Amino acid sequence: MKKMKHITFYLFGLACTFLVLGCEFSKTSTKNTIAENTVAVYKEPIKHNYAPTVLSKDTTQLWLAEGSIEKDTVLILGDGGPKNQLDYEFNGKIAMAYLPNFKNYYNVNLHQATTYNEEIFNWKHEFTLDMAEKETTNTSEIMYRAIKYFKDRGKYVVVAGHSYSAFVIPHYLANYPSLADKYIITGGRFKADSLQTVYQLKDVNTIFEESGKSIRIPDENRPPNPNRPKKYFQIRTAKNLLKAAIGKHDYTQLLKGKNLSNITFFYGTKDRNVGVPTAYELDFLRSKNVQVIEADSDHYNIWKTMIDKIESGDVSL
């Protein structure tokens, strides 16, 4: 009888052991299943905003050219913008074509990061100031490579930039050696209006009052135009941040130790796009022996004064 009780107790204990082991196995399996499910649920997908900008090792892919490469003088032209297509590529019309000796130059229509890589304006998830700064660096790198390419081949190089490219030139000069023989800047600033930069960072477009001396305060609470497609706002966001990335710098400070005597700077007294340079900016430029020329013009017609001054010999290339 005692033996039977012992056997029964033994079997009961064995059963409990199997039961505990079974429970532990069940817990382990459950934990593994939860862990696997957790990885599956919370694993973040890789977000690709746009195809990254990778500049070609073939430097000649960084521009569209016109004329004979045998010419001694190379005219490197920078568009306004930022744009997704070069003016030359879009309609072949460029202001410099009105120069009296235009055919005597090898004319290089220089890409910006956004014309070289149009996918920048097709960003999907977000476009940030950090991204804009990287693309600004790419644009200056393009300018540097183009200038160096032609200087290495013994060419006389003139760089001309309007509006957005009028900011690219001082950005390039602040970050790279000044290799070109001559720079012509139209419709730019060396110390952009800080309030305009603030609005650009808010993705709000602005213009200046008719005097070109103060920002016209926009209505930030104005609802977006419902007739504008989503793509419009996507492009606007990228453009505003690209402008802020290059315009937020005080080039009067960044360039105070550089030789700027080979720059001719044109500004319009009615420029409502970037504003009229302040007395501080103009004094700085003159102190650096920059040739400063005032145009009785808005932002878009400064080029006419530039052509006139080159034709008359007041400005030499």
CATH code of the domain covering residue 173: 3.40.50.1820
- How far, in Å, CA of 156 to CA of 110, rounded? 16
For residue 148, give both structure tokens.
């160096």
Predicted confidence at residue 221, as pLDDT, reads 85
Residue 256 has pLDDT above 70, yes or no: yes
Question: Which residues does residue 293 pair with via DSSP β-bridges, in sequence order?
Answer: 266
Mean pLDDT of 2-21: 42
Residue 212 per-residue DSSP state: S
Residue 50 lies in a domain: no
pLDDT higher at 138 or 219: 138
SS3 251: helix
Amino acid at 114: T
SS3 268: strand
**163 in Cβ contact with 187 (< 8 Å):** yes
**150 in Cβ contact with 157 (< 8 Å):** yes
Count structural domains, the chain.
2
277, 295, 280, 302: which is closest to 213 by C-alpha? 277
**259 in Cβ contact with 285 (< 8 Å):** no
Mean pLDDT of the chain: 87
pLDDT higher at 22 or 121: 121
Where does the chain show beta strands of DSSP type E? 63-66, 73-78, 105-110, 156-162, 182-186, 263-268, 291-295
Predicted confidence at residue 149, as pLDDT, reads 98
Cβ burial, residue 273 (10 Å; 0-12/13-18/19+): middle
Residue 115 lies in a domain: yes
Domain match, 111 and 231 both: yes
pTM: 0.83
Residue bearing tokens 């081949």? 153
Question: Which residues does residue 263 pair with via DSSP β-bridges, in sequence order?
Answer: 183
pLDDT tens profile 16-54:
444 443 444 344 443 333 233 333 333 444 455 788 899
Residue 65 has pLDDT above 70, yes or no: yes
Residue 204 lies in a domain: yes
305 alpha carbon, distance to own chain's centre: 28
Residue 125 lies in a domain: yes
pLDDT band at 14 (very low <50, low <70, confident <90, very high): very low
pLDDT tens profile 181-203:
999 999 999 999 999 999 999 99
Domain match, 73 and 37 both: no
pLDDT tens profile 280-315:
999 999 999 999 999 999 999 999 999 999 999 999
Q: Which domain holds residue 13?
A: 1-43
Domain match, 27 and 144 both: no
